[in-house]
Structure 1
Amino acid sequence: MNKVVLHATDLDGYLTDSDKESLAKAQSLYAEAIGLFKEIDTGDAEQVHHARESITPVFERVGRYLKEIVAKESRIHVYSFETPQVQHGAASRLIAKLRDPKTSQSEFLYFVQRAYELLFAHVYADKALPKKRSIITRTPVTFPAQNYAVHKIPDVDDLIDNSVMCVMLRGALLPSMIISKEIQDYSSDGRVAPFALFKIKRDDTKVEKNMDYLLDLDRSFFDLSQLEGKDLIFADPMNATGGSLVTIVKYIESQGITPRSIRFITVISALKGALRVVRAIDRAEVYTLWMDPVLNEKAYILPGLGDAGDRLNGVDEDDNPRNMIQLIADYGSTITDLYRDQVREIEETVLGRNGH
């Protein structure tokens, strides 16, 4: 098997002593919340009332601490820490719906699309301002004359023209398609970014402290020459440990490839994962809609939202995992029609145009 393996012990080597102190304090703060969770779940009526009254101030303290830590990191960007407060409600409600176990698969997909629209605006459109360009659009109204509308949008061409979408399957497939669609819609020439597809997974039989990250080169599809000097975009719903991203980027660099920039765009990131990424990769920036404080022993984000890949794509059979084309087909005609140019680009990549 042609695989690249990164061990959790290698990953932790990138963290500084200060990082470890910050993570320990975040763990301590969140432990208070876990105590209240237990009261809500198993306590009597009086305990439940007390816990519900106490839990909001605890989370506010956790949030303030995370903001304090992130403020020291120029390459970690949290939507709710950087945008005006009037915008925070939309992001907070989206995250609440994504966390909810009652949110159906179709709803989960819808809310992920909304999340990445917000993220694209924060990462690219807001950054391009005040530079704008005009779009002149022919409308369906023809009386008393053919009507046109003029709209001014942020001119993001300089920020996106050098981009390559790097997909870390499985949960990253649809988010990558969404970001690519936003690039296409905002660009002046309808640009469809090229794709690089990496088959990577972590060994979930292990726990966070001894986790292995396995990059399967035989089942990946990419052209190294397309990555040289490019702005690489990695989109994934979750950044728990940062291990998958670091494994891929370190492999690319070991092959003599130097990207111009690396943007990791996530819906939720754990503090530990964000710190690991920026410590391990010099040119990497982390953008996340929301930051969560800690990981559990199994390397799941707390409070988290479960397995985002399964909630987006459904669960694979252990002995028959779906490939990239099968995953796209299972999204159904509505999604594949919406992202038809992205689907075509991925299919051409997988079917032989850009084998590694």
Structure 2
Amino acid sequence: MSSNEASQKPPSQCVGPEYRPATMKPTATVSTEIPHENVHILPQTPQLIALLTMIRDKDTGRADFIFYSNRIIRLLVEEGLNHLPVIEHTITTPVGRTYSGVKFEGKICGVSIMRAGESMEQGLRDCCRSVRIGKILIQRDEETAKPKLFYDKLPEDIADRWVLLLDPMLATGGSALMAVDVLKSRGVPEERILFLNLIASPEGARNFAQQFPKLRVVTAFVDEGLNEKNYIVPGLGDFGDRFYTM
């Protein structure tokens, strides 16, 4: 990312119930917009901004970090499910009347990028009972500084499923992009992959949108950029450490 891109601050807007006048709403930083149709950013509601504020705070303890992260993950999963196709489905209610509704088309599974992505598995299970979940472990090669696949365990019929790829942080996008390559090598069509993510950098979001135009990214927030160490700023630190150990 260029220094010009990195210096661009995310926009601010008044946050609060629509019925309140702007003078009675606090101003908060909201997500940077990404001009790609396959990147969907959650609506920047007061609830979401409050939850993100809690998990970004360096003084938030582990128990609260887990609780508020899980609430955001639930929002992401619910929105991700909205992007799956549905078919017509008419049922009969207990009073004998018919109702014209819909039901999901096809089977789904989750795939978490270890280890931080595993924090999102419970949120998926809360929404999709008995959902199958695969694992992919990608770590940086110390010699090449590039991501390297170390392990994967995926459902045998994954090529026939819609895949919700789980990873809370999207910095440069190297690991997640490799994970998509793994899924595609197992026969999963690109358009059947949804990447669920809490916080992304503009660079990571653009990389996804450009390299995999048929894949959909659902994120809660696109941050300011990356620093010299490729950490997302303002970010929230190491998500895995804060969720599992700190």
The separation in 1 between residues aligned to 2:192 and 2:73, in whole angstroms, is 20
Corresponding position of 1:77 = 40
Corresponding position of 1:202 = 140
Corresponding position of 2:201 = 270
Secondary structure of the 1:201 match is strand
Structure 1: which amino acid aligns with 2:133?
Answer: F
Q: Does 1:93 align with 2:50?
A: yes
Identity of aligned residues (%): 22
* Aligned mate of 1:121, from 62, 78, 84: 78
Summarize the Cα distance change of 1:233–1:256 in structure 2 as closer, same or farther, 3 Å threshold.
closer
The separation in 2 between residues aligned to 1:125 and 1:257, in whole angstroms, is 20
Superposition deviation, residue 25 in structure 1:
3.8
Corresponding position of 1:213 = 147
Secondary structure of the 1:115 match is helix
The separation in 2 between residues aligned to 1:126 and 1:254, in whole angstroms, is 23
Show CA shifts across 1:277-336 (max 9, x none): 122224311111111021112221000000000111117xxxxxxxxxxxxxxxxxxxxx
Q: Does 1:158 align with 2:104?
A: yes
Corresponding position of 1:232 = 163
Summarize the Cα distance change of 1:156–1:233 in structure 2 as closer, same or farther, 3 Å threshold.
farther
Superposition deviation, residue 128 in structure 1:
8.4
Structure 1: which amino acid aligns with 2:179?
Answer: I
Superposition deviation, residue 256 in structure 1:
4.8
Superposition deviation, residue 101 in structure 1:
1.0
The separation in 2 between residues aligned to 1:236 and 1:248, in whole angstroms, is 10
Q: Which has the higher strand share?
A: 2
The separation in 2 between residues aligned to 1:212 and 1:126, in whole angstroms, is 31
Q: Which has the higher helix share?
A: 1
Superposition deviation, residue 234 in structure 1:
1.2
Show CA shifts across 1:209-266 (max 9, x none): x74112103xx3224x422132111122211121111112213334555355111111
Superposition deviation, residue 78 in structure 1:
0.9
Q: After the TM superposition, which segments of 4 or more aligned residues of structure 1 sit over 4 Å from their partners?
A: 125-129, 131-134
Q: Does 1:245 align with 2:176?
A: yes
Show CA shifts across 1:135-166 (max 9, x none): x9xxxxxxxxxxxxxxxxxx77416x421110
Secondary structure of the 1:110 match is helix
Secondary structure of the 1:241 match is coil
Contact 1:99 1:305 in 2 (8 A): yes
Corresponding position of 1:303 = 234
Summarize the Cα distance change of 1:249–1:125 in structure 2 as closer, same or farther, 3 Å threshold.
closer
Structure 2: which amino acid aligns with 1:213?
Answer: P
The separation in 2 between residues aligned to 1:194 and 1:115, in whole angstroms, is 21
Structure 2: which amino acid aligns with 1:75?
Answer: N
Contact 1:238 1:266 in 2 (8 A): yes
Secondary structure of the 1:172 match is helix
Higher deviation after alignment, 94-103 or 225-234: 225-234
The separation in 1 between residues aligned to 2:53 and 2:209, in whole angstroms, is 27
The separation in 2 between residues aligned to 1:74 and 1:211, in whole angstroms, is 31
Contact 2:90 2:102 in 1 (8 A): no
Corresponding position of 1:167 = 112
Superposition deviation, residue 125 in structure 1:
4.9
Summarize the Cα distance change of 1:89–1:133 in structure 2 as closer, same or farther, 3 Å threshold.
farther
Corresponding position of 2:121 = 176
Superposition deviation, residue 99 in structure 1:
0.6
Structure number with larger C-alpha Rg: 1
Show CA shifts across 1:98-141 (max 9, x none): 01111111111101111012223333359889x9999x9xxxxx
The separation in 2 between residues aligned to 1:96 and 1:313, in whole angstroms, is 19
Aligned residue pairs total 223
Secondary structure of the 2:7 match is helix
Unpaired runs of at least 5, structure 1: 1-19, 32-55, 82-87, 137-154, 185-191, 316-356
Corresponding position of 1:193 = 131
Corresponding position of 1:111 = 68
The separation in 2 between residues aligned to 1:75 and 1:260, in whole angstroms, is 10
Summarize the Cα distance change of 1:195–1:127 in structure 2 as closer, same or farther, 3 Å threshold.
closer
The separation in 2 between residues aligned to 1:258 and 1:106, in whole angstroms, is 38
